[in-house]
Amino acid sequence: MFLIGVPLLIVPFLIYNAVALFAPSVSWVEPLPPIAMVSGGKWEMSYGDILIVFAIILLFVEIVKATRIGMRTIIAHMLSAVLFAACLVEFLLVRQAATSTFFILLVITFVEMLAGFTISIRTAQRNIELDTADKVGG
């Protein structure tokens, strides 16, 4: 239950940093073996593409989590802002983070942070409107 407040998007950044630190020879843009499609085309993906797809799936989960209300949600949004700030600093100051894969992950955390705050504000407004309507009607 404690991990509900932790931003899940920290996982792709931990993976990225672990690979950058412990396996610096791995290229995020090197294509994996292609997959033959029915159309005759060849579909190529890289490690970076797979990491981005994973982060987008986690972004969906984070947006669903943002629809909850309560103190834990506020803390989760603050942790998301801290994660975004840390990633931005890393992108600007760490040589290994100066890649398009890391930049796209940075943008995903930015979208998650904005979506979380926006959804919380909209949910709070709706709750205030419903609460006011109950007092007027009751």
Taking only the tens place, the pLDDT of each residue in 76-100 is: 888 999 999 999 999 999 999 999 9
> Rounded mean pLDDT of 66-72?
75
More confident residue, 118 or 132: 118
Write down the pLDDT at residue 138.
54
Taking only the tens place, the pLDDT of each residue in 29-66 is: 899 999 999 999 999 999 999 999 999 999 999 888 88
Structure-token pair, residue 41: 């085309």
- Percent of the chain at pLDDT exceeding 90: 59
> Rounded mean pLDDT of 119-127?
69
pTM for the model stands at 0.81
35 forms beta bridges with 43
Count of other CB atoms within 10 angstroms of residue 108:
21
Write down the pLDDT at residue 81.
93
Cα 110 to Cα 103: distance, rounded to the nearest angstrom: 10
Cα 103 to Cα 92: distance, rounded to the nearest angstrom: 10
More confident residue, 82 or 127: 82
Give the count of alpha carbons within 13 A of 73, CB side only.
Answer: 18
Write down the pLDDT at residue 64.
86
CA angle, corner 26, sides to 59 and 102, nearest 5? 35
